[in-house]
Structures are given as C-alpha cells and as structure tokens.
Structure 1
Amino acid sequence: MLRTLFSPRLVGLHLLVIGVLVAFILLGRWQLGVFTDSGHPRAAADPAPVALTDLSAPGERVTTDEIGRQVTATGTYDSSAQLLVADREPDVAAPGGRASSGAGFWLLTPLNLADGSTMPVVRGWVASPDDPAVDVPVGQVNVTGRLRPPDQSDAVQRGGALPTGQVATVSTAELINLWNGALRDGFVVATQQTPALSATPVAVPAPAVGAALTWRNLAYAAQWWIFAAFAVYMWFHFVRDAVRSNDPESQPET
C-alpha cells in the first residue's frame, strides 16, 4: 500500500492537490477579507471650504451631507455670551459619563454674522476656566472649521447642576434660550482662525461614508472553499482506486 501511495504518479497527485488546496484557501481568505473590509467606513470626498452662509440658512437643520463639511465664516464674537462645555476632551467624541481625569472645557462662543444670524463656534479646549485662552478676541474674526450636528440636550446625565456659564452639551435647543438672534443649527469646530487660535485645537474628523457589505465576495469565499473540499474528495477517490487496483486481496478470484 505504501509503495502505491508513494508511486511517482500519486506523489505528483499529492503535490498537485496540496498546491490546489493552498491556492483555493488563500483565494477564499482574500475574498473574505474583501467582504469584511467592505463594511468599514471610508473617507468621503472632502471639498474645499465653503462660506457658511452659502451652505445653509438660519432655522434650517444641519443635514447629513453637511456634517463634517469645511466652512468659513466672518463675524464678531460675543464675549458676554461665551459658555464652557464641561467634561470634554480635546476631541469631538460623543459626550457621556462623569468627568474623567484630564477632562476640561470646550470654549463655545457665539459668532455674530453679517446677516444677523449667530453660529456657535468651539474655539478650542482648555484644562481650566482660568486659562488665559478663555479670553475672546475683539473685533472681526475669520474662522475656518468643520460643521457638526448639535448634541442631544439629554446626552449627558449629571449628578448636579453646573456652575453659571457652563453647559453639558452643545444643544441648539438649549442655546436658543441662552443666546439672542437667529441661531443656526449645529456648531462649527474651529480649525483655523484670524487672529490665531489661542486654545488647544479640538480634533474633528473629516467626513466619512458607510459602505454596504459586498455579500458577493462572501459567496466567492465560500465557493473557493467548496472547490478545495471537492479537490480533497476527488483526491481521496483517486488514491482509493489506485490502492485497490494494486492490492491483490481486492482483486476478484479467477
């Protein structure tokens, strides 16, 4: 039996099947990887900055297509109405939970535009309300940043009331009751400013789009592995027939 299994013809068959199995398994894994990666969000087109007043109008909701867009705005800050958004890291992660070690404040300042509307602007992050960067620039400013949707007003559950001048979320519904003027929806996270930003910039992600899973690639992966199983099945039958044909005991008596 061993002599038959290791005959030149069957050795060639063994090597061919091993090569086929390796190739088919790797092809299946490749298609599975394509299927898995297809569901990951990917970077969307990031158009050049557009004037905020050209993108939307006061009273309009921020749309999905507008979230993450780079916008520019020119106006003056209202220092008397600035708020500190408590328990925030220097990023735009969704709020939640109690203050953690290292959490500070976003500087949320109303920017009064020439058309009479007001846009909430996050000018940066500070570790303490006593940070000198809290001071608001005087006069006209030019701001470039990314547009973000408003937080839900109940997104953060706190154990007690915040001090005067602090809020837990950047909520349009809440700011309407705190600020005067025609308030625009959402808020702008400033990335550049003239005069220059003095606080730690808040990291804000570029827009991303979700992707649908490509089920066809999963089917291709299963197909390659079925081919591999079929190759093993055929190899087994070829080897079995070869062994039987060379086994005297399996030959019919004459």
Structure 2
Amino acid sequence: MLRTLLSPRLVALHLLVIGVLVSFTFLGRWQLGVFESSGAPRRAPDPAPVAVTHLTQVGRYVAVDDVGRRVTATGVYDAANQLLVADRVADVAAPGGRAARGDGFWLLTPLRLADGTVVPVVRGWVRSAGDPATAVPEGTVTVTGRLRHAEQTGDVQRTGLLPRGQVATVSTAELINMWPDARVRDGFVVATTQEPPSRATPVAVPAPTIGGGLTWRNLAYALQWWVFALFAVYMWFHFVRDALRGRRQEPSGPESKGPESAGPAAPAEA
C-alpha cells in the first residue's frame, strides 16, 4: 500500500490537494475578514466648523446627527462659575468617575455668547486642581471644538461627595442648577483650539463615525471557498481509494496452470 501511496502519480495528487487546501482556506479566511471589517464604524463626513448657535439651543437637546460636529464660538469666559470635572483623563471617550479616580480634571468653563446664552466648554485637562492652567483667560476668546451631547448623571460611577466647585459629569440639567442666572445651551463643546491659546492639555475628542453594514455576500464567499476545500478532500479520498483497490486486484504472480497444461501422465504399473 505504501508503494502505491508514494507512486509519482499519487504524490503529485497529494501535493495538489495540499496546495488547494492552503489556498482555499486562506481565501475563505480573507473573505471572512472582509465580512467582519464591514461592520466596523467608519469615519463620517467632517464638514467645516459652523457657529455653535446653529446646532444648540436653550431647552432643546442636541440632535444625534450633530454630535461630533466641529463648531466655533466667540464670547467671554465666566471665570467665577468655572467647574472642575473630577476623575477624568485627557480623552472624552475614556470612562470617568471611579474608573479614573485621581487621574485629573477637565476644566469646564461657561462661555457667554453675544446673545447672552451660555455654552459649556471643556477647555482642557489638568492633573491637579492647583495647576496654573486652571486660570481663565480674560477678554473675548474664540473657541473651535467638537460638539458633544450632555452626559447623564448615571454615566459614571461616582467616588463619593466632591468638594465645592467640582462635578462628576457634564450634565446640562445639573449645570442649570449650578448656574441659575445663565441660559444654558444643551450639550457642551470640547475645545480643540482656542484664541488666545490655552495652557491646559487638550482633551482628545473623536470625529463623528457612522456604523458599517455587514456585507453578507463576503460571508457567503468564505463559506464557498471552504466547501470547495472539503470537496477537494473528498475527491482526493476517492482517487486514493480507487488506486489502492486497483493495486489489490492485480495478480501477485504467474497464474496457476490448468490440468491441460500439465506434463504427460506417468505410465501405470503393471
């Protein structure tokens, strides 16, 4: 049997099947990867900045489609009402509260616009409450950043009571109570640039994304390649089985001679 399996014809078949299996498995895995990546979020179109007044209002939620949009705002910071958002890192998408306990603070400062309304602005991040970068610039400032929807009070696991002047979330409902004399627009702006420049560390804020749609066609292609690979194994098995059967049916030596081919009979004794 081993001689049959190692015959030149079957060795070529073995090598061909191995090549087919490796190639088809790779092609199926590639199509599966395309299928998996098709569902990943993709970067959405990122239009030029617009005035924050075009996308936010007092008493009306920020539209979902406007979250992440680049906006600009010009006004004067209200230094007396600045707040520190406790237990945060310099990334707006990172978890806060107990998950980032002691990591630092966002500088949350109300920016009063020309129409008298207020936009909450995260000016940057500092490691400690006594950092000199917490100082609020005087005069008119122009902020460019990305719009975020207001956080919910339950978005973070709180670390307990915070000192006066600190909050756990950027919640419009909470800010209305803390800034009772201000007409607060919903949402907040995470500053990316500011004139005059800020000394605080900028808080990273992602560009808007859109969800991807799974391309089921690629999954079907992956299954096709793997079915072809199984079919190649099936055909290899039949070729090898037929070769072994043919080998067993071949005569192993000269055929036995019949009676007619035997020599002359010995004469009978008298």
TM-score (structure 2 length as normaliser): 0.86
| TM alignment of 1:15-94, pairs within 5 A | 15-92=15-92, 93-94=94-95
Q: Distance in 2 between matches of 1:65 and 1:99?
A: 29
Per the alignment, do residues 136 and 250 of structure 1 end up closer, same or farther by CA in structure 2, a change over 3 Å counting?
Answer: farther
**Quick check: 1:104–1:127 contact (8 Å CA) kept in 2?**
yes
Aligned residue type for 1:171:
S
Q: Does 1:247 align with 2:257?
A: no
Write the deviation string for residues 166-216 of structure 1: whole angstroms up to 9, x where unpaired. Answer: 111100110111223321111101110011111111111112222233233
Write the deviation string for residues 222-242 of structure 1: whole angstroms up to 9, x where unpaired. Answer: 221111011100111011112
The CA deviation at 1:42 is: 2.4
Which moved further from structure 2: 45-54 or 156-165?
156-165
| TM alignment of 1:226-241, pairs within 5 A | 226-241=227-242
The DSSP-based 3-state class of the residue aligned with 2:108 is strand
Tell me which residue corresponds to 2:183: 182
Q: Distance in 2 between matches of 1:182 and 1:250?
A: 103
**Quick check: 1:244–1:250 contact (8 Å CA) kept in 2?**
no
Tell me which residue corresponds to 1:219: 220
Which moved further from structure 2: 83-92 or 157-166?
157-166
Runs of 4+ in structure 1 over 6 Å off: none
Tell me which residue corresponds to 1:208: 209
Aligned residue type for 2:17:
V
Tell me which residue corresponds to 1:115: 115
**Quick check: 1:126–1:199 contact (8 Å CA) kept in 2?**
yes
Tell me which residue corresponds to 2:143: 143
The CA deviation at 1:137 is: 1.1
The CA deviation at 1:159 is: 4.7
**Quick check: 1:126–1:133 contact (8 Å CA) kept in 2?**
yes
Q: Distance in 2 between matches of 1:250 and 1:219?
A: 49
Tell me which residue corresponds to 1:97: 98
Aligned residue type for 1:212:
G
Q: Distance in 2 between matches of 1:106 and 1:113?
A: 21
**Quick check: 2:89–2:100 contact (8 Å CA) kept in 1?**
no
Aligned residue type for 1:169:
T
The DSSP-based 3-state class of the residue aligned with 1:242 is helix
The CA deviation at 1:250 is: 9.2
Give the gaps of 5 or more residues in structure 2: 256-270
The DSSP-based 3-state class of the residue aligned with 1:88 is coil
The DSSP-based 3-state class of the residue aligned with 1:177 is helix
**Quick check: 1:62–1:185 contact (8 Å CA) kept in 2?**
yes
Write the deviation string for residues 58-106 of structure 1: whole angstroms up to 9, x where unpaired. Answer: 33211221111111111111111111111111111232326535x1111
**Quick check: 1:5–1:239 contact (8 Å CA) kept in 2?**
yes
Give the gaps of 5 or more residues in structure 1: none
State the structure with more CA Rg: 2
The DSSP-based 3-state class of the residue aligned with 1:170 is coil
The DSSP-based 3-state class of the residue aligned with 1:138 is coil
Tell me which residue corresponds to 1:128: 128
Per the alignment, do residues 73 and 27 of structure 1 end up closer, same or farther by CA in structure 2, a change over 3 Å counting?
Answer: same
Q: Distance in 2 between matches of 1:148 and 1:248?
A: 81
**Quick check: 2:98–2:159 contact (8 Å CA) kept in 1?**
no
TM-score (structure 1 length as normaliser): 0.91
The CA deviation at 1:151 is: 1.1
The CA deviation at 1:249 is: 6.4
The CA deviation at 1:157 is: 3.8
Aligned residue type for 2:218:
N
Aligned residue type for 2:122:
V
The DSSP-based 3-state class of the residue aligned with 1:146 is strand
Per the alignment, do residues 40 and 99 of structure 1 end up closer, same or farther by CA in structure 2, a change over 3 Å counting?
Answer: closer
What is the CA RMSD across the aligned residues, in angstroms?
A: 2.1
Per the alignment, do residues 250 and 243 of structure 1 end up closer, same or farther by CA in structure 2, a change over 3 Å counting?
Answer: farther
